[in-house]
């Protein structure tokens, strides 16, 4: 296979700030903490950083800090900066950093995603959590859902989950395996929000939110920042913690870019996004040692499992039931740091951070001999993914 441009990039550093339910710290404060740790982790100084990339950046109502704020806070001198919400989900910030490095615009790009949704207050009326809806109304596509009280992504994802159950016989007990698996793994993560043991019976007994999604199907808002440094692969031998290779990235948005008008009510855009990733690599799903798949809502993880090809279409419920396949000793250890359901809504970057730790052999629940990790983040029309390797690809 001809050289893929993303293979010119590696992840040389990764770090997180303090993470908590409500920290009452500013977004830029958390961002600086994560960024400085990531730069140090990469064996660099801020003078080496010549690029910044973030999601969602200015105008993103659910962002914790702008790229320009970090630029200013650390007095960086940049050749290139990029921030935006119209990407392949939150990992779009990583895709953009890879593009910046691969095209030679920058050599070391600091990438971050900061959330202050824990102390930022409860979901505001009509704020369209997770989907970027408007406040009291929205002239965009959300105008067709907000007037009906469907103000949260929970309502929209619940509709897909219901149809998946209807068409494929997926059960709540199967869906609950995602939450139970996440909780079991979160126990080993010192930054996780929820670590009390959870059984499937606990899951089935908790209150409904948007039926068929219950409280434990919804991730927990938190405060925290995750930062990674994307560097040119030439730097890999000098990365003190070991460089993680970018084997392939998935960015495709081939269907209608919509939460409500996507052609298939049992899958979402990740179906195309994951397919586009596999089109860019000689590796296959059988090579994946662990998967870090977005669980903003548990059903999104089922959709990612099918999109990635760990099982066939409609088979994800049976695949995860009982948690054996997705447990630490299973065929595809899943969300090994607890995911967002238990470790906090770091918006895909908790999954990314865990992927890097797994490939370094430094995870709290380490998958032995881990060499390939699939990371997928986002839901609805905003999905992106990465196939990462131990060392440059």
Partner 1 sequence: MRGDNPPRFVLASSESEFYWRSGADGRLRIQRCGECSRWVHPPGPACPFCHSRRVGPEPVAGTGTVATYTINRKEWIPGFTPPYVFAFVELDEDPTVRIGTNIVDCEIDKVEIGMRVEVLFEESGEWHVPLFRPAGTETS
SS3 334: strand
> What is d(CA 127, CA 138) in angstroms, rounded to the nearest whole number?
9
**Which residue, 194, 228, 241, 219, is CA-closest to 16?**
228
- 377, 384 in Cβ contact below 8 A? yes
The least distance separating partner 1 from the CB of residue 154, rounded to whole angstroms, comes to 8
Shorter beta-carbon distance to partner 1: residue 146 or 365: 146
Least distance to partner 1 from the beta carbon of 132, Å?
Answer: 14
User: Which region among 103-111, 122-130, 182-190, 366-374 touches partner 1 (by CB under 8 A)?
Assistant: 122-130
Neighbours of 232 (CB within 10 A): 18
Binding of residue 122 to partner 1 (CB under 8 A): no
Beta carbons of 129 and 153 less than 8 angstroms apart: yes
Residue 211 or 282: the one with the smaller Cβ distance to partner 1 is 211
- How far apart, in whole angstroms, are the C-alpha atoms of residue 344 and residue 338? 8
Residue closer to partner 1 by CB (options 137, 361) is: 137
Query: Using CB under 8 A, which of 65, 109, 158, 236 touches partner 1?
Result: 158
To the nearest whole angstrom, how small is the minimum distance from the Cβ of residue 202 to partner 1? Answer: 18
Q: Which is nearer to partner 1, 257 or 330 (CB)?
A: 257
Three-state DSSP class for residue 111? strand
- Using an 8 Å Cβ cutoff, are 229 and 42 in contact? yes
Any idea how long the chain is? 393
The terminus-to-terminus CA distance of the chain in angstroms comes to: 12
Work out how close the CB of 27 gets to partner 1 at its nearest, in angstroms, rounded to a whole number. 25
CB 293 within 8 A of CB 308: yes
Among 147, 169, 237, 361, binds partner 1 (CB under 8 A): 147
Site for partner 1 in 170-229 (CB under 8 A): 207-213
In 155-188, which positions are buried (b, 16+ CB within 10 angstroms) versus exposed (e)?
A: bbbbbbbbebbeebebebebbbbbbbbbbbbbbb
Question: Which window, 46-54, 146-154, 182-190, 197-205, contacts partner 1 (CB under 8 A)?
Answer: 146-154
Q: Which is nearer to partner 1, 146 or 198 (CB)?
A: 146
Stretch near partner 1 under the rule CB under 8 A, chosen from 21-29, 104-112, 156-164, 371-379: 156-164
Instruction: Look at residues 168, 159, 171, 158 and name the one whose alpha carbon lies nearest to residue 313.
Output: 168
Task: List the one residue out of 327, 373, 331 whose CA is nearest residue 177.
Answer: 327
By beta-carbon proximity to partner 1, the closer residue of 167 and 279 is 167
φ, ψ at 329 (rounded to 5°): -105, 10
- Please, which residue, 124 or 361, has the CB nearer to partner 1? 124
Q: Which is nearer to partner 1, 6 or 306 (CB)?
A: 306
User: Candidates 11-19, 186-194, 256-264, 306-314 — which segment interacts with partner 1 by CB under 8 A?
Assistant: 256-264
Nearer to partner 1, 122 or 197 (CB): 122
Contact 337, 186 (CB under 8 A): yes
Cα–chain-centroid distance for residue 21?
Answer: 18
**Min dist. Cβ of residue 173 to partner 1 (A):** 19
Interface residue with partner 1, options 1, 3, 125, 286 (CB under 8 A): 125
Size of residue set near partner 1 by CB under 8 A: 38
Q: Which of residues 259-278 bind partner 1 (CB under 8 A)?
A: 260-261, 263, 265
Which helix (H) or strand (E) segment holds residue 307: the answer is: helix 298-308
> Which residues contact partner 1 by CB under 8 A?
123, 125-126, 134, 136-139, 141, 143-152, 154-155, 158-160, 162-163, 166, 207-213, 260-261, 263, 265
């Amino acid at each position: 296979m001809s050289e893929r441009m993303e293979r010119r990039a590696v992840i040389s550093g990764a770090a997180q700030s303090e993470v908590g339910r409500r920290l009452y710290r500013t977004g830029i404060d958390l961002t600086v903490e994560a960024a400085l740790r990531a730069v140090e982790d990469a064996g660099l100084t801020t003078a080496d950083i010549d690029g910044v990339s973030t999601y969602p950046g200015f105008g993103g109502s659910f962002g914790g800090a702008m790229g320009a704020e970090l630029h200013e806070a650390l007095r960086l001198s940049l050749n290139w900066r990029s921030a935006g919400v119209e990407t392949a989900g939150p990992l779009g910030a990583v895709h953009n950093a890879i593009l910046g490095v691969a095209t030679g615009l920058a050599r070391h790009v600091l990438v971050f995603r900061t959330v202050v949704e824990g102390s930022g207050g409860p979901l505001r009326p009509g704020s369209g959590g997770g989907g970027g809806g408007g406040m009291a109304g929205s002239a965009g596509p959300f105008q067709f859902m907000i007037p009906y009280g469907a103000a949260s992504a929970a309502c929209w994802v619940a509709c897909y989950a219901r149809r998946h159950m209807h068409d494929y016989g997926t059960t709540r007990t199967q869906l609950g395996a995602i939450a139970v698996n996440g909780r079991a793994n979160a126990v080993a993560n010192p930054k996780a929000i929820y670590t009390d043991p959870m059984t499937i019976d606990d899951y089935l007994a908790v209150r409904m939110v948007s039926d068929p999604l219950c409280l434990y199907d919804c991730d927990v808002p938190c405060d925290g920042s995750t930062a990674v440094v994307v560097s040119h692969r030439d730097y890999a031998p000098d990365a003190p913690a070991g460089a993680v290779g970018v084997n392939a990235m998935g960015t495709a948005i081939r269907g209608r870019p919509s939460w409500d008008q996507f052609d298939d009510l049992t899958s979402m855009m990740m179906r195309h996004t994951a397919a586009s990733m596999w089109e860019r690599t000689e590796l296959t799903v059988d090579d994946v040692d662990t998967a870090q798949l977005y669980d903003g809502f548990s059903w999104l993880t089922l959709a990612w499992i099918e999109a990635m090809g760990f099982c066939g279409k409609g088979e994800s419920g049976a695949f995860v039931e009982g948690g054996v396949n997705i447990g630490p000793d299973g065929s595809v250890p899943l969300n090994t740091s607890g995911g967002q359901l238990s470790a906090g809504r770091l918006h895909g970057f908790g999954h990314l951070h865990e992927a890097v730790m797994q490939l370094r052999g430094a995870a709290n629940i380490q998958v032995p001999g881990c060499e390939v990790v699939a990371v997928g983040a986002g839901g609805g029309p905003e999905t992106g993914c990465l196939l990462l390797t131990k060392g440059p690809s």
